[in-house]
Amino acid sequence: MTEIISTTNDSFASLGLIEPIQRALAALSFTAPTPIQARAIPELLAGRDLLGVAQTGTGKTGAFALPIIQHLLAEKVRYSPYRTRVLILAPTRELALQIDESIRRFSAGTGLRTVVILGGVGRTPQVQRMQRGTDIVVGTPGRIKDLMNTRELLLDQVTHFVLDEGDQMLDLGFIRDIRTIMAALPAKRQSMLFSATMPTEVGKLASSLLRDPVRVQVQAETATPDKIEQHVYFTDAGGKKHLLVNLLRDASMERVIVFTRTKRGADKVAEHLEGAGIPAEAMHGNKSQNARQRSLELFKNGQARVLVATDLAARGIHVTGITHVINYELPNEPESYVHRIGRTARAGASGIAFAFCDPSEQAFLRAIQRLTGVVMHVAGPHAVSAVGDHPPAEIVPIRPASSAPDADRPKRRGRRSGSGRRPRQNKAA
């Protein structure tokens, strides 16, 4: 495997993209490629398989979509019923819709057809769109497999296959569906796998999917953005709702995402905020796709000031103008904290992140601060408790990543050995 570590940018014109694509990018005010685009696009245009190691927000959709669009335009073919030339798998409905939107913008005026196939909405309109075939299908594994089983989606003419957010795919339990889909693909194809992290399981999947791939890596986001102020409140679990409502009394908190670890927790927090007169919407995997889209639209247009979400919203959802992120419950994967607070301080703006830490979450806090290298500001001299203020349990000062003991870090499920346990993580947030 050839490895390329991304360090510099070029111009889109120098990457070999054709004029129609350059015009579309100019109309979108995209003036220069991101590092992963600068390194990946020439390799993909040359037909190489690719393993991309990059987090959300690095421009990886453009990295794979732009070369695919160019390849499709170079070889115009007639549509075949229920068939597609490109299959792109995403772990969540929101990310699938976002990828589809990006491809439509990149391919504006070219006549390329795209179809989105995902669960949570009626299958009939999706089947109807597949009847005359399409250039590109973007979807989630469950519904893709469903239409394959009824032969309303045939993959025998696929020339390009993309597996996005590979690590999240595995975390959500999609490995069997993915392998079933892969088995139906033609042997001769160009394949791409993108992942924010590279645990052993993703490495094994890459080995079975890719042929002599080039590896393009954008340096991991081990530090959080400089423009995000980070604060921690020490509290007991029962005091979190009271603390949250008090914070949201501040009118400067104009557009806020509150993260919980569980779907039930998101619903309960949103209900509590509504009861306190604070417009809020809950968003998680147990809601239908229509309900999730409605919640997101209410949040985007300001009718809901607060979006209470599971980590589903940490990847693949981009809402401008988010002023604050509140970690109502700390994530048990420290990387998730970086994704969560990255919803604010976008496009040059600043942002504020609050973390609520009860005694059971102190190990999570240590792992987060070791990963980011940031010592959060302790907000207030006392903890907030359901029964009144009291001093927090003693917290050992957070040390830099190089000196913190491994024992402080919560164990990853199924990725590391050891007997340490952590709260159960939902398969599909």
Q: What pLDDT sits at residue 383? A: 40
Helix (H, G, I), strand (E, B) or coil at 362: helix
pLDDT at site 171: 80
Q: Is residue 414 part of a domain?
A: no
Residue 421 lies in a domain: no
Is 357 in contact with 234 (CB distance < 8 Å)? yes
Q: What is the CATH number of the domain that holds 118?
A: 3.40.50.300
Same-domain status, 33 and 137 = yes
3-class SS string, 17-51: CCHHHHHHHHHCCCCCCCHHHHHHHHHHHCCCCEE
pLDDT for the residue 150: 97
One domain, residues 251 and 132? no
Would residue 424 count as lying in a domain?
A: no
Q: How far apart are CA 59 and CA 72, in angstroms?
A: 21
Query: Does 417 map to a domain?
Result: no
Q: Looking at the structure, tell me whether residues 67 and 211 fall in a common domain.
A: yes
- Residue 401 counted as domain residue: yes
Q: Which of 217, 246, 266 is the last residue of a domain?
A: 217
Same domain? 363 vs 234: yes
What is the per-residue pLDDT for 423? 40
Question: What is the per-residue pLDDT across 267-292, written as a single tens digit (0 to 9) for each?
Answer: 999 999 999 999 999 988 788 878 88
Asked if residue 160 is part of any domain, the answer here is: yes
Tell me phi and psi for residue 135, to 5 degrees. Answer: -80, -45
- Angle (CA) 132-133-138 rounded to 5° is 135
Do 36 and 115 reside in the same domain of the chain?
yes
In terms of domains, do 15 and 104 share one?
yes
Overall domain count for the chain: 2
Residues of the chain where predicted confidence (pLDDT) is lower than 50: 4-9, 220-223, 381-429
259, 203: one domain = no
Residue 315's pLDDT is 61
Q: Do 296 and 389 reside in the same domain of the chain?
A: yes
**Domain membership flag for residue 415:** no
- Eight-class DSSP state of 6: -
Q: 158, 191, 217 — which closes off a domain?
A: 217
The answer to the question of residue 33 being in a domain is: yes
State whether 366 and 316 are in the same domain.
yes
Q: What gap in Å lies between CA 35 and CA 37, rounded to an integer?
A: 5
Distance CA 96, CA 137 (A): 10
Q: Are 237 and 347 in a shared domain?
A: yes
Same domain? For 86 and 140 the reply is yes
306 and 176: one domain? Answer: no
- DSSP classification of residue 411: P
pTM: 0.64
Among residues 217, 241, 273, the one where a domain terminates is: 217
Q: How far is CA 209 from CA 158, 203, 356, in A?
A: 14, 10, 41
Domain holding 158, by residue range, is: 2-217
